[in-house]
Amino acid sequence: MSVRPGDNGPGTPDDPSAALRAAQEDGDEDAFRVLYRAVQPNLLRYLRVLVGDDAEDVASEAWLHIARDLATFRGDLDGFRGWAATIARNRALDHLRQQRRRPVSSEQDEQLAEVPAREDTAESAVNAIGTDEALALIATLPRDQAEAVLLRVVMGLDAAGAARVLGKRAGAVRTAAHRGLRKLADLVDTDPEIRRSTGGVTQTRPPTLKEVR
Instruction: Note the residues at the interface with another protein (CB under 8 A).
Output: 1-3, 23, 27, 29, 32-33, 36-37, 40-42, 44-45, 56-57, 59-61, 63-64, 66-71, 98-99, 101-102, 105, 129-131, 133-135, 137-138, 149-150, 152-154, 156, 158-159, 174, 177-178, 181-182, 184-185, 188-189, 194-195, 198-201, 205, 208-209, 211-213
Distance from C-alpha of 54 to C-alpha of 73, rounded to nearest angstrom: 26
What gap in Å lies between CA 19 and CA 57, rounded to an integer?
25
Q: Tell me, what amino acid is at 10?
A: P
CB 45, min distance to another protein, A: 7
Rounded distance between C-alpha atoms, residue 85 and residue 39, angstroms: 9
- How many Cβ atoms are within 10 Å of 213's Cβ, its own excluded? 8
CB of 38 to another protein, least distance (A): 9
Q: Which is closer to another protein, CB of 50 or CB of 194? A: 194
CB 135 to another protein: min, Å: 6
Cβ contact 135:48 at 8 Å: yes
Question: In whole angstroms, how close is the CB of 70 to another protein at the nearest point?
Answer: 7
Least distance in angstroms from the C-beta of 167 to another protein: 19
CB-based contact 80:39 (threshold 8 Å): yes
CB of 119 to another protein, least distance (A): 19
Among candidates 111, 85, 82, 81, which has minimal Cα distance to 96? 111
Using CA atoms, how far apart are residues 71 and 26, in angstroms rounded to an integer?
A: 10
d(CA 70, CA 26): 12
State the DSSP code for 150. Answer: I
Bin 10: left if φ > 0, else alpha if -120 < ψ < 50, else beta. beta
